[in-house]
Amino acid sequence: MNISNPLDPYISKSRFKYLKSEILGTIKHKGYYILQMDNPFRELLDSSLYEYRKFVNDKKHKINPSSSSFKWDEIKDNYFTKYSIGSTNGLGNPIAQLLKTTYLPSSIEFLSKSQCNIFKLSRYLVTLRNLLSDLPIDFGYFPKKEKFWNASRIHHYPVGGGFMSRHIDETFPSIMKNAKIPFLQVSVSLSIRSRDYYQGGGYVIDKQNQNKIYTDRTLEYPSSITIFDGSCAHGVQEVDPYEVFTFEPKKMRAALFAGTYPFVK
């Protein structure tokens, strides 16, 4: 990335100066902002989706059960995939869900050596999140010093009913409030509604009018980034519930998140 403008080549320095004020102002009032990007960013999203599909089709990759846990040191240079299925999430919160989560390698040494577009995309989202939060652009890549790490992960919702119930983020914001680090969610849909799946998908609830706003890419708007805070209600409505259930990647709803998790030794 260009040091003078870390959001190159997709957002110019002058555009971001305007966008930052608009994004944060809209999030304050509505709880979310959907940033429409140009075609080159769509190409990055499509290539990342292609790489994820190849990854899923690699039968050598292990999938861990829903009850499995890990620490940053154990996965910093590796993928870690687990099912996320049940009436509660991994922290025990009453958030019903049915999906598969893949945590991407997160050490800066690993990411700097890789040419994968999916890592390029995750680093871009981390940079955007950090700049919006007035943090150093590489925040989260030095967890032993900063006490937080970049939990970039792919949420894979299968057709046949993959979902996450409506909720607000409470646990991580409460943990992080004393650290003065905002819990800002930045994500992109890798799949496209009306192409990779047809019903349901990711949504947020507008704080102003309580309307449900679907956030995933569409054929009309194929190049977008969703930004929201944890106090904005959100979830994933059942994905193509009329289909036969399958985690095969040809049909699915997949999204990449660039979140921040507290570092635990």
Q: What one-character-per-residue DSSP string does 141-178 give?
A: S-HHHHSEEEEEEEEEEEBTT-EEEEE---HHHHHHGG
pLDDT for 4:
61
pLDDT for 262:
87
pLDDT for 59:
81
Length of the chain: 265
pLDDT of the chain along its 265 residues, tens only?
A: 444 688 999 999 999 999 999 999 999 999 999 999 999 999 999 999 999 999 999 888 899 999 999 999 999 999 999 999 999 877 677 899 999 999 999 999 999 999 999 999 999 999 999 999 999 999 999 999 999 999 999 999 999 999 999 998 865 555 556 655 667 899 999 999 999 999 999 999 999 999 999 999 999 999 999 999 878 999 999 999 999 999 999 999 999 999 888 888 7
pLDDT for 173:
57
pLDDT for 171:
58
Q: What is the CATH number of domain 17-262?
A: 2.60.120.620
Task: List all residues 6 or more positions away from 233 whose beta carbon is below 8 Å from its beta carbon.
Answer: 31, 166, 167, 168, 204, 205
pLDDT for 21:
95
Q: Exposed, middle or buried, 241 (CB in 10 Å: 0-12/13-18/19+)? A: middle
pLDDT for 264:
83
pLDDT for 28:
92
First to last CA, the chain: 31
* Assigned token pair, 260: 């921040």
* pTM, entire model: 0.93
